[in-house]
Structure 1
Amino acid sequence: MNITREQVDALNAIVKVAITKEDYTEKVEKVLADYRKNASIPGFRKGAVPMSLIKKQYEKAVMADEVNKLLQDSLNNYLVEEKLDILGNPLPKMTEDFSWDAEQLTFEFELGLAPDFKVDLAAKNNVVEYKIIADEALLNEQVERIQKQYGKLIPQDVVAEGNEVKGTFTNEEKGINNTTVVTGDIFKDKKAAKALIGKKIGDVVTFKTKGLFDDDHKLMDYLRVAHDDVHGLDIEVNFTIEGIDAVEKAELNQELFDKLFGEGVVKSVEDLKAKIKEDAEAQFAQQADQKFLNDVTDFLIESTKFDLPAEFLKRWIQTVGENPLTAEQAEEEFAKSEKGLRYQLIENKVITENDLQIKFEELKDFTAGLIKSQMAQFGQLNPSDEEVDGIVARVLSNQDEIKRISDQVMSQKMISLFRDKVKAKSKEVNYQDFIKAMYGEN
């Protein structure tokens, strides 16, 4: 057997694999001998079927199978030995005059090669690393929410100012059908708030969405409208009243504090706000980190220039699914996946050049942290090490879970690396301003 490579250009190559009869004859003969031992053909005793008959029936198929195995093994070994970084899989080139009876069988494969490029993490950029602050307005809002949540609901027959009104927003044309609870103070349009006053269960109030809230994003929460649809949304929605409650707010006393955080952890309203601030900003930090990672990703894709073996990849895309694609369909799929492929190549280079590795102990520690956090949400604040270790072992016995958690750990490593090496601007914002920045709004 002989393998040669022709370099078409920097991103494309053709590998030729020449196989002679000596390379596969012995294996074919062995398989045919096994067939003969077990063949049951009328007129012959088992194991006594003439080899000529066995060859006539099976030789071509066996030969094709053995040659294909040899091809795959030799081609894979060649790619490893030559350290060729390929994209997709080798594509066989069809030869019109190919014959299985030839003394030498020659197969050709097209290769798409990964490009050579450099990643400059320190390049000039417009990336902003946000620190989200829980401001006084948010803290006051959360304190009031807690008071209402742990307060007493008193059913009412008629809507009065300050009542909580449960109902369903609907609009058939936009497919809106969302049950929620509203209070008059959520509306920017004071006429909308007044429209609820005096209404009873079963009444329907019609609202115009344009200018209904002080922030169009609230339409996402109350109407379950997608972000792309909220800006300037100008339709009418019906709100069918299903429940009316007056809220007697819970007192901000030690009994409430102990119920929320455990005995003696919080002792005053100031402590309560500090706890809310700590918890909120921890959650905000996760969102800010994700935006930072996304923005650095976009920056690296934009600033790292390299060519791809595009025509090869489009042909390869045509072949990889259960059903072959047309050239036009493959073109569309390539356009959809190109950005992801570029970042995958960039990410792999960043990981390799900065020796970002994940150790099993890191996976265990990260998983333990996740489990403790989840248990705390259900009131288990001090689980034993044995209990946590047992759950960790069960989670990490699942390969899908290992992959999912490994991705999370690697994301954290990438964020730490980018924070250290990418020259981003730092900016403190409140949560509302962060939401606007996240969606590219001023």
Structure 2
Amino acid sequence: MNITRENIDELNAVLKVAIAKDDYSEKVQKVLKDYRKSANIPGFRKGHVPMGLVQKQYGKAVKVDEVNKLLQDNLQKYLTEEKLDVLGNPLPKGQEDLNWDEDNYTFEFELGLSPKFEVDLQPKEAITSYKIVVDDKMLDNQIKTIQKQYGKITSKQEVEAGDEVSGSFVNEEAELNKKTTFEVSKLKGKANTSAFLGAKVGDTITVTTKGLFAEAGDYRAHLGLTEDEAKEQNLEVSFTIAEVNHRVPADLDQELFDKLYGEGVVTSVTELREKIKEEGEAQFKQQSDQQLLNDVTEKLIENTNFDLPAEFLKKWIQQSGEKELTFEEAAEEYERSEKGLRYQLIEGKIIADNNLQITFEEIKEYAKEMIKAQMAQYGQMNPSDEELEGIAARILSNQDEVRRLSEQLMNKKLLDFFKEHVKLKEKEVTFDEFVKEVYN
């Protein structure tokens, strides 16, 4: 067998594979001999069918099968030995004139070659790395929420300031029927507030959705609409009061501190605020880290220029799925996936150039750390290594779990790498400021 490569350009090549009779004949004869031993042909005893008859009946099919096996095995071996970095898989060129009655064959395959490029981790403008802080306003709100959550509830018949009401916002024409509970203080404007104050259990109140709540998030929580949708639709909704409750906030005393964090862990309001701030900022760090990863990804795609073998990839997409696509459908799919492919190549180069590959041992240790963290949430603070090993082994026996953990660990490695090597500028923001900057 002889394989030669002709480079069309830097991104495209053609492989020519020449297969001679000597390359496959021995394997074909072996298969046919095995067929002869088991062939069940009328008029002949099993194992005594003439070889010529076996050859006539099965010879061509066996030859086609063995030649195709040779092709697949040796193509992959060639790509590995030549260290060719290809995109997709080799695509066979059409050979309508192929005659399987001949002894020698030549096959051609199109290759899409991975582009050569460098990754610049120092963009002209530094990428913003957000540090989300818990401000006093958020702390005050969180403490009020805790006090209400652990406070006493008194059932009432009439709504007064500071009460919360339960019921459903309804507009049958718009198919809106949202069961909810909210504090009257969350309503916006005197007219809306006055409509509820003094109302009794069983009363039905009619309001409009535009400008109903003071906070944007309350529209989604209590109406099932965004603030913009509530404003644009300006629906007239009815609300029948099913329940009125008044919450007496819990005192900020040692009894509450112990309920929240365990006996003696927090002993003052100052320590409580510090603890809530610490926990909140730890949670926000996950969001800011994910945003940093997203922003670095976008900047790398934007700043790393290289060409792709687009026509080859469109043909490969057309032929590689379960259902063959038209070329137009494949071209559309290529346009949708091109950005992701570019980042895969950039990420792969960063990983290879900086030895960021993941070992199975690292995945196992990462799994054990996650298990420990989950067990700690349920009060199991010191699990034995034997126990962790057993749970990790069960998790890692599932290939989907291994894949998921590998992706998480790789994202962590890349994030740590970017924090050290990419040009960043830290910006301290509150959560509201972060949402406004990133999502608006």
**How high is the TM-score relative to the length of structure 1?**
0.92
Q: Give the direction of change, closer, same or farther, for the CA distance of 1:406–1:144 in structure 2 (3 Å limit).
A: same
Q: Secondary structure at the match of 2:216?
A: coil
- Rounded Cα–Cα distance in structure 1 between residues aligned with 2:329 and 2:114: 23
Matching residue of 1:27? 27
Matching residue of 2:138? 138
Matching residue of 1:59? 59
- Rounded Cα–Cα distance in structure 2 between residues aligned with 1:6 and 1:33: 39
- Rounded Cα–Cα distance in structure 1 between residues aligned with 2:94 and 2:82: 24
Post-superposition offset of 1:397: 2.9
- Rounded Cα–Cα distance in structure 1 between residues aligned with 2:152 and 2:273: 22
Post-superposition offset of 1:93: 0.7
CA contact (8 A) 2:131 2:288 kept: yes
Q: Secondary structure at the match of 2:5?
A: strand
Q: String of CA shifts for 1:194-213, please: whole Å, max 9, x gaps.
A: 33334455555455444344
- Rounded Cα–Cα distance in structure 2 between residues aligned with 1:322 and 1:177: 43
Q: Give the direction of change, closer, same or farther, for the CA distance of 1:65–1:410 in structure 2 (3 Å limit).
A: same
Query: Residues 38-437 of structure 1 correspond to what in structure 2 (within 5 A)?
Result: 38-125=38-125, 127-169=127-169, 178-201=178-201, 204-225=204-225, 233-236=232-235, 238=237, 239=239, 241-437=241-437
CA contact (8 A) 2:2 2:17 kept: yes
Q: Give the direction of change, closer, same or farther, for the CA distance of 1:212–1:383 in structure 2 (3 Å limit).
A: farther
Count of paired positions? 439
Q: Give the direction of change, closer, same or farther, for the CA distance of 1:54–1:256 in structure 2 (3 Å limit).
A: same
- Rounded Cα–Cα distance in structure 2 between residues aligned with 1:159 and 1:352: 66
Q: Give the direction of change, closer, same or farther, for the CA distance of 1:21–1:128 in structure 2 (3 Å limit).
A: same
**How much is the aligned-residue C-alpha RMSD, in angstroms?**
2.4
- Rounded Cα–Cα distance in structure 2 between residues aligned with 1:194 and 1:382: 55
Q: String of CA shifts for 1:286-312, please: whole Å, max 9, x gaps.
A: 100000000000000111111111111
CA contact (8 A) 1:131 1:429 kept: yes
Query: Which AA in structure 1 matches 2:96?
Result: E
Query: Which AA in structure 2 matches 1:256?
Result: L
Q: Secondary structure at the match of 2:77?
A: helix
Post-superposition offset of 1:36: 1.0
Q: String of CA shifts for 1:93-150, please: whole Å, max 9, x gaps.
A: 1112111122321111111111111100012135210000000110111111111111
- Rounded Cα–Cα distance in structure 2 between residues aligned with 1:431 and 1:322: 45
CA contact (8 A) 2:219 2:230 kept: no
- Rounded Cα–Cα distance in structure 2 between residues aligned with 1:179 and 1:160: 21
Matching residue of 1:12? 12
Q: Which moved more, 1:146-155 or 1:187-196?
A: 187-196
Q: Which moved more, 1:351-360 or 1:373-382?
A: 373-382
CA contact (8 A) 2:169 2:179 kept: yes
Q: Give the direction of change, closer, same or farther, for the CA distance of 1:180–1:262 in structure 2 (3 Å limit).
A: same
CA contact (8 A) 1:184 1:194 kept: no
Q: Secondary structure at the match of 1:9?
A: coil
- Rounded Cα–Cα distance in structure 2 between residues aligned with 1:173 and 1:292: 44
5+ unaligned residues in a row in structure 2: which ranges?
none
- Rounded Cα–Cα distance in structure 1 between residues aligned with 2:193 and 2:381: 42
- Rounded Cα–Cα distance in structure 1 between residues aligned with 2:343 and 2:163: 51
Q: Give the direction of change, closer, same or farther, for the CA distance of 1:361–1:80 in structure 2 (3 Å limit).
A: closer
Q: Give the direction of change, closer, same or farther, for the CA distance of 1:385–1:33 in structure 2 (3 Å limit).
A: closer
Post-superposition offset of 1:9: 1.1
Post-superposition offset of 1:154: 2.2
Q: String of CA shifts for 1:215-263, please: whole Å, max 9, x gaps.
A: 5344344444579x76965432635544332112112111111111110
- Rounded Cα–Cα distance in structure 2 between residues aligned with 1:317 and 1:189: 57
CA contact (8 A) 1:128 1:427 kept: yes
- Rounded Cα–Cα distance in structure 2 between residues aligned with 1:18 and 1:240: 82
- Rounded Cα–Cα distance in structure 2 between residues aligned with 1:93 and 1:225: 55
- Rounded Cα–Cα distance in structure 2 between residues aligned with 1:106 and 1:205: 83
Q: Which moved more, 1:28-37 or 1:232-241?
A: 232-241
- Rounded Cα–Cα distance in structure 2 between residues aligned with 1:205 and 1:82: 77
Tell me the percent identity. Answer: 56
- Rounded Cα–Cα distance in structure 2 between residues aligned with 1:242 and 1:61: 77
Post-superposition offset of 1:18: 0.9
5+ unaligned residues in a row in structure 1: which ranges?
none
Q: String of CA shifts for 1:305-358, please: whole Å, max 9, x gaps.
A: 111111111111111221111122112211111111110000001111111133
Post-superposition offset of 1:366: 2.6
Post-superposition offset of 1:176: 5.4
Q: Give the direction of change, closer, same or farther, for the CA distance of 1:386–1:49 in structure 2 (3 Å limit).
A: closer
Post-superposition offset of 1:174: 7.0
Q: Give the direction of change, closer, same or farther, for the CA distance of 1:207–1:341 in structure 2 (3 Å limit).
A: farther
Query: Which AA in structure 2 matches 1:93?
Result: K
- Rounded Cα–Cα distance in structure 2 between residues aligned with 1:19 and 1:171: 75
Query: Which AA in structure 2 matches 1:276?
Result: I
- Rounded Cα–Cα distance in structure 2 between residues aligned with 1:319 and 1:310: 14
CA contact (8 A) 2:186 2:215 kept: no
- Rounded Cα–Cα distance in structure 2 between residues aligned with 1:318 and 1:174: 43
